[in-house]
């Protein structure tokens, strides 16, 4: 195990390279295109934020990269390279050497991601003893140290307790400890704070960030909240309907976002300096049906900038001004053509159907 673990340590390319990854689920209604041609690259020690609303395919993307999807009824294609090694088509038996030791995952709900009938200490040492050839005592010491490092008070006592004896925030810390137990190079954090009380969200995110920098670990932070990734990700990928609609370094995205969907997502975060009783900004309508997605731009039915061309023709991904900035849009935000499109829509009182429905309920 340990020999394999460091065999490719001097590989100096990107840690994770995903090319044209598709993940389709077979269902009775047809193929559900949950992830549809996603490409991304992640360097060692960096953080990639994946942002999108529910059903945009971000969780499936993370699980598809890790090959943790259900065994049946899933079609995947494309390429996933981890340290230069193609892992897309590896069998679960072969993936086991990556799971836990090389890449690991924190799940959304700490209530269900710990085994209710197994002691906390055991849940951590299981993974340690699976990958590292250490004695039981050493694994226990390691687990206790891990609990301390994720700031669990009285780690020794906690080792002998069950998950239901701890609060949600504590449980998520345990989950983090479990995920970090074997020192992975890549951590997927799938909405790690969504199920938590807002008061502990920042603590947990800070804890993950601290562990990440101490271990020089790369992280994919999946969230629906642009605010969560704003200060923490090096690069942000905005997903919509299984596709990457905008990709940019964090500061570029926030200063110069081009995709109307990113703009709408940002606008939907309530601002603290707004007057009270300000109506919350929402994105009207629903994410598209992933079995029969719209022909043109997937966001067109909900977009303020929508034009004839958007409905008929899907925009290709194209580079922005700043290096590393890419987006899919015919009428990007903040460009003359985008401005013109928005003005024309406002002048002709043309708002997308979904938006019209949302504005006039019943």
Partner 1 sequence: MPEQPAKPSPDYLPSTDASTPPSPSEVLLHDELDPAGMTFDPELSGVGAITTDVPGRRRLGQGLTVAAWVAIGWMVFVVLLAVLAKTGLVTWGDPQNSIAACARKGPFANEGGAAGHLLGCDSNGRDMIARLALGAWTSLLVSVGAIAVGFIIGGGLGIIAGYFGGRIDTFLTGTFNVMLSVPAIVFALALVAFLQGTGQNSGKTALPDVLILIIAIGVVSIPLVGRIARASALSWSQREFVLAARAQGAKNGRVMIRELLPNVAPALFSIALLGIAIAIVAEGTLAILGVGVKPPTPSWGNIIAVDRGELFTSPHITFEPSIMIFVTVLALNFLGDVVRSRFDVQEAGI
> C-alpha distances in angstroms, 267 versus 227, 270, 310?
11, 8, 22
Residues 58 and 23: beta-carbon distance below 8 Å: no
Structure-token pair, residue 135 = 């004695």
Residues 32 and 91: beta-carbon distance below 8 Å: no
- Taking the least distance from each CB to partner 1, the nearer of 71 and 347 is 71
Identified binder of partner 1 from the candidate list 75, 141, 167, 282, rule CB under 8 A: 167
By rule CB under 8 A, what count of residues binds partner 1? 45
Tell me if 100 contacts partner 1 by CB under 8 A. Answer: yes
- Taking the least distance from each CB to partner 1, the nearer of 29 and 94 is 94
Identified binder of partner 1 from the candidate list 97, 224, 309, 339, rule CB under 8 A: 97
Identified binder of partner 1 from the candidate list 59, 104, 172, 211, rule CB under 8 A: 104
Tell me if 27 contacts partner 1 by CB under 8 A. Answer: no
Identified binder of partner 1 from the candidate list 131, 173, 232, 243, rule CB under 8 A: 131
DSSP 14-62: -SEEEEEEEEEEEETTEEEEEEEEEEEEE-TT-EEEEE--TTSSHHHHH
Identified binder of partner 1 from the candidate list 109, 225, 256, 314, rule CB under 8 A: 109
Tell me if 65 contacts partner 1 by CB under 8 A. Answer: no
Phi, psi of 43 (to 5 degrees): -85, 160
Which residues fall within 8 angstroms of residue 263, CB to CB, at 6 or more apart? 257, 333
CB of 92 to partner 1, least distance (A): 8
Identified binder of partner 1 from the candidate list 39, 130, 203, 335, rule CB under 8 A: 130
Instruction: Give dist(CA 52, CA 56) in Å, integer.
Output: 6
- Taking the least distance from each CB to partner 1, the nearer of 96 and 344 is 96
Identified binder of partner 1 from the candidate list 118, 160, 322, 356, rule CB under 8 A: 118
């Amino acid at each position: 195990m340990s020999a394999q673990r460091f065999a490719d340590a001097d590989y100096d390319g990107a840690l994770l390279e995903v090319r044209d990854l598709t993940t389709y689920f077979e269902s009775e209604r047809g193929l559900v295109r949950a992830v549809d041609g996603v490409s991304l690259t992640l360097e060692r020690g960096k953080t990639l934020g994946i942002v999108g609303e529910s059903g945009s395919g971000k969780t499936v993307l993370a699980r598809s990269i890790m090959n943790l999807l259900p065994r049946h009824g899933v079609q995947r294609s494309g390429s996933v390279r981890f340290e230069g090694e193609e892992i897309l088509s590896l069998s679960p038996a072969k993936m086991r050497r990556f799971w836990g030791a090389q890449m690991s995952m924190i799940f959304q709900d700490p209530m269900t991601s710990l085994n209710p009938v197994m002691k906390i200490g055991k849940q951590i040492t299981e993974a340690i003893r699976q990958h590292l050839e250490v004695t039981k005592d050493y694994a226990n010491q390691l687990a206790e140290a891990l609990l301390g490092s994720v700031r669990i008070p009285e780690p020794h006592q906690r080792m002998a307790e069950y998950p239901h004896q701890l609060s949600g925030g504590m449980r998520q810390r345990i989950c983090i400890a479990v995920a970090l137990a074997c020192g992975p190079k890549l951590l997927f954090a799938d909405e790690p704070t969504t199920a938590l009380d807002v008061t502990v969200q920042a603590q947990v995110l800070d804890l993950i960030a601290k562990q990440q920098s101490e271990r020089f670990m790369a992280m994919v932070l999946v969230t629906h909240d642009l605010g969560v990734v704003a200060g923490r990700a090096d690069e942000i990928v905005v997903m919509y309907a299984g596709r990457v609609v905008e990709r940019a370094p964090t500061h570029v995205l926030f200063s110069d976002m081009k995709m109307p969907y990113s703009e709408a997502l940002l606008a939907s975060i309530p601002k603290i300096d707004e007057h009270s009783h300000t109506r919350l900004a929402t994105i009207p309508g629903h994410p598209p049906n992933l079995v029969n997605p719209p022909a043109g731009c997937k966001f067109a039915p909900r977009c303020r900038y929508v034009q004839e061309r958007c409905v008929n023709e899907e925009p290709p991904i194209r580079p922005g001004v700043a290096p590393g900035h890419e987006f899919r849009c015919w009428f990007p935000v903040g460009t003359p053509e985008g401005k013109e499109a928005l003005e024309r829509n406002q002048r002709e009182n043309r708002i997308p159907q979904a938006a019209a429905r949302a504005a006039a309920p019943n």
